[in-house]
């Protein structure tokens, strides 16, 4: 009857030693080099029988354990009274100290690795959603108009406003040369009368781009007065065309100058 052994895989010789210590339920500080060496070699022998690959680091640890075991089995040298030779006094060396220190350090990092592995497993069970732009859902908060400004900036702006206000309070009187209706009537008669009765002129020719609103109004009033005096006749050949002004004047220039126009 064949028996199949299933051996646990270990990451290194320290991992194997830590497993043997935990299995024996002993404290690391109380390990027995002799017992732990025998168990270690037994495990390597099992790996060899099962034709498992035994790496060099396992063999180095085995040699180290055998060296430590042999030193413990050898008879100790006679005890000397170091008080007579204080310059040669040496402390007693325990070969287990280096191994115990490595095992404690390895157990600490192994515990940290297991804790991180548990965290990784817990995180792998969480499915997170990618972040979205929630800016459209934020409330519309009015921005601060003076954000980033210092008190000195506000003072300078206030001083500039005061200087502008001083300039605005300066009053300048502008005298505008206004033309009267009577003067505009003379201008129109001067244009039409030399050509004789029946002469014509387009209304657009009486206006120009440089004329002010006042001058345009005065021109209309002058035409109305001349129509009232039956000196001109205004008509259009077609709708929305330019107004034609035709001279029918019978008054003398002196008579026109005496027209009673109060504006």
CB-based contact 21:36 (threshold 8 Å): yes
- In the chain, the domains with their CATH numbers are 13-74+94-123 (no CATH), 181-257 (1.10.10.580)
Q: Find the range with the poorest average confidence among 11-25, 88-102, 114-128, 130-144.
A: 88-102
Q: Can you give the length of the chain in residues?
A: 263
d(CA 103, CA 109): 10
pLDDT of residue 116 exceeding 90, the answer is yes
Residue 246 main-chain phi, psi, to 5 deg: -110, 135
- For residue 98, what pLDDT is reported? 78
The pLDDT of residue 21 is 78
Residue 259 confidence (pLDDT): 56
Task: Give the residue from 44, 13, 8 showing the smallest Cα distance to 106.
Answer: 13
Q: What is the pLDDT of residue 118?
A: 92
Q: How does the average pLDDT of the chain come out, rounded?
A: 76
d(CA 198, CA 245): 9
Half-sphere exposure of 61 (CA within 13 A, CB side): 25
Dihedral Cα 206, 212, 215, 219, nearest 10 deg? 40
Residues 68 and 50 sit within 8 Å (Cβ to Cβ): no
Is 15's pLDDT higher than 70?
A: yes
The per-residue pLDDT for 12 is 75
Tokens of 38: 């025998």
Question: What is the mean pLDDT of the segment spanning 6-14?
Answer: 65
Contact (Cβ atoms closer than 8 angstroms) between residue 179 and residue 215? yes
Q: Which of 38, 41, 32, 43 minimizes the C-alpha distance to 7? A: 43
Q: pTM for the complete prediction? A: 0.36
CA distances from 203 to 188, 193, 206 (A): 10, 16, 5
Q: What is the pLDDT of residues 166-225, one digit of tens each?
A: 776 666 666 666 788 898 898 888 888 877 777 888 888 888 878 888 888 888 899 999
- The segment with the largest mean pLDDT, out of 67-76, 81-90, 100-109, 112-121, is 112-121
**CA-CA distance, 233 to 194, in Å (whole number)?**
17
Q: Crossing angle of helices 33-49/13-24, nearest 10°?
A: 120
Condensed to tens digits (0 to 9), the pLDDT of residues 133-154 reads 888 887 887 877 777 778 888 8
Write the DSSP symbol of residue 232.
E
pLDDT of residue 43: 79
Over the stretch 44-92, which tens digit does the pLDDT of each residue have?
877 776 656 666 777 777 887 777 777 766 666 565 555 554 544 455 5
């Amino acid at each position: 009857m064949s028996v199949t052994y299933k051996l646990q895989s270990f990451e290194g010789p320290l991992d194997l030693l830590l497993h043997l210590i935990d299995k024996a339920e002993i404290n690391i500080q109380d390990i027995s080099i002799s017992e732990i060496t025998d168990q270690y070699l037994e495990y390597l022998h099992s790996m060899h029988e099962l034709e498992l690959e035994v790496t060099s680091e396992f063999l180095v640890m085995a040699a180290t354990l055998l060296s430590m075991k042999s030193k413990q089995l050898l008879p100790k040298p006679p005890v000397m009274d170091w008080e007579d030779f204080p310059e040669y006094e040496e402390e007693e060396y325990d070969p287990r100290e280096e191994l115990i220190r490595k095992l404690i350090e390895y157990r600490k990092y192994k515990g940290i690795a297991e804790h991180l592995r548990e965290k990784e497993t817990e995180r792998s069970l969480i499915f997170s959603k990618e972040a979205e732009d929630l800016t459209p859902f934020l409330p519309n908060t009015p921005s601060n108009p003076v954000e980033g400004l210092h008190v000195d900036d506000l003072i300078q702006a206030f001083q500039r406003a005061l200087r502008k206000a001083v300039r605005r309070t300066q009053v300048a009187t502008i005298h505008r040369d206004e033309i009267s209706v009577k003067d505009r009537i003379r201008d129109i008669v001067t244009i039409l009368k030399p050509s004789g009765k029946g002469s014509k002129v387009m209304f657009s020719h009486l206006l120009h781009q440089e004329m002010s609103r006042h001058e345009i109004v005065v021109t209309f009033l002058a035409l109305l007065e001349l129509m009232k005096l039956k000196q001109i006749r205004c008509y259009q050949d077609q709708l929305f065309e330019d107004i034609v002004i035709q001279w029918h004047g019978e008054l003398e220039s002196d008579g026109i100058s005496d027209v009673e126009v109060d504006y």
